[in-house]
Amino acid sequence: MTSELEAIVAADEESRARLSFAGQRRERDVASARARHEQSAEELRRDGCDALETEIAAIREASDREIETLRRSHERYLAALAEAGERRLAHAAELYAQIVGGLA
């Protein structure tokens, strides 16, 4: 019976050693998979940030062009208003001169 008990104990120790080895291997595999996942996630984040920065730059450029177009349009509009104002003032001055000259 002692030899049978020794065989059972040896088999038990071997099973525990295999289980321990399998657990360690699983932990290494999980750690490796986790590291690959984190690296992949970081690459995706970086690519997303790069794409976002590119898109923001494109939007900024388009907005800057639109603002410049509006600014030039506004300047032309103000210049036209100033010109019209000058004409009206000149016309008013002429009318005033005629009225004052007619009274004298």
Cβ partners under 8 Å of residue 36, min gap 6: none
Report pLDDT digits (tens) over 21-65: 999 999 999 999 999 999 999 999 999 999 999 999 999 999 999
- What the block records as the tokens of 102 is 């007619």
Report pLDDT digits (tens) over 71-89: 999 999 999 999 999 999 9
Domain boundaries, the chain: 1-74
Q: What is the CA radius of gyration of the chain?
A: 44
Write the DSSP symbol of residue 89: H
Flag whether the pTM goes above 0.75. Answer: no
pLDDT level of residue 1 (50, 70, 90 thresholds): low
Question: How many whole angstroms separate alpha carbon 64 and alpha carbon 18?
Answer: 68
Q: What's the residue count for the chain?
A: 104
Question: Residue 80's Cα: distance from chain center in Å?
Answer: 41
Write the DSSP symbol of residue 88: H
